[in-house]
């Protein structure tokens, strides 16, 4: 990680890491699909440890799941101190990519995934579960948005660190 990747606090910008992850997700997904792919969603972006200038960052990626045109790539980021050899797992994220047909620019079918190990089967099953949970979370969120009115929900703010004045429309 070179100094120009650092933020004002001297640590590596989260955006630099996300950009690297997106490139790795592209390479991994397009290699499996045999077409170009686009990023459609990124899940679980939490940087658990800061990455320092001078550390060697490795990104380990695998296609965990394929649907019809979508692929989920799991990416594990590891930062290593070159001096001490100590490695830190900074985050794991999941990128959903969609394969596109270059001529029509429409989503196109990707090859099925060959699961050779129990670990690969576990990742596929876990991705299925995450997809299902995301769908129900999204449905619940949409439902909450439609039933939520500020007037009725104001008591919920009483224990929060905010002050509602309502002085502007």
Give the up-direction half-sphere exposure of residue 56: CA atoms within 13 A in the CB hemisphere: 8
Closer residue to ligand COA (CB): 101 or 119: 101
38 binds ligand COA (CB under 6 A): yes
Closer residue to ligand COA (CB): 58 or 143: 143
Interacting stretch for ligand COA, rule CB under 6 A, among 4-12, 49-57, 67-75, 155-163?
67-75
Residue whose C-alpha is closest to residue 44's, from 168, 133, 141, 144: 133
Q: Which residue is nearest to ligand COA (CB)?
A: 67
39 binds ligand COA (CB under 6 A): yes
The separation between CA 143 and the C-alpha centre of its own chain, rounded to angstroms, equals 24
74 binds ligand COA (CB under 6 A): no
Binding track over 93-112 against ligand COA, x by CB under 6 A: ---x-x--------x-----
Strand partners, 109: none
Q: Tokens for 167?
A: 């002085």
Closer residue to ligand COA (CB): 61 or 113: 113
Strand partners, 6: 12
Question: In whole angstroms, how close is the CB of 133 to ligand COA at the nearest point?
Answer: 13
Residue whose C-alpha is closest to residue 92's, from 108, 109, 73, 107: 73
Closer residue to ligand COA (CB): 79 or 99: 99
Closer residue to ligand COA (CB): 1 or 99: 99
Contact between 49 and 90 (Cβ < 8 Å): yes
Q: Tokens for 149?
A: 């009115």
DSSP state, residue 11: B
Q: Which residues would be at the binding site for ligand COA (CB under 6 A)?
A: 38-41, 67-70, 96, 98, 107
């Amino acid at each position: 990680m070179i100094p120009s990747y650092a933020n004002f606090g001297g640590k590596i910008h989260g955006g630099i890491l996300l950009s690297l992850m997106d490139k790795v997700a592209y390479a991994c997904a397009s290699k499996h699909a045999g077409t170009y792919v686009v990023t459609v969603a990124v899940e679980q972006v939490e940087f658990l440890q800061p990455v320092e200038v001078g550390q060697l960052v490795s990104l380990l990626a695998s296609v965990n799941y394929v649907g019809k045109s979508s692929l989920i790539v799991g990416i594990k980021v590891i930062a290593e101190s070159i001096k001490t050899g100590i490695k830190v797992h900074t985050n794991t994220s999941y990128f959903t990519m969609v394969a596109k047909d270059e001529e029509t620019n429409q989503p196109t079918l990707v090859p099925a995934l060959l699961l050779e190990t129990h670990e690969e089967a576990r990742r596929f099953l876990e991705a299925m579960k995450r997809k299902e949970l995301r769908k129900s979370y999204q449905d619940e969120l949409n439902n909450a948005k439609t039933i939520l009115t500020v007037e009725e929900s104001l008591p919920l703010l009483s224990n929060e660190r905010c002050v509602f004045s309502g002085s502007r429309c």
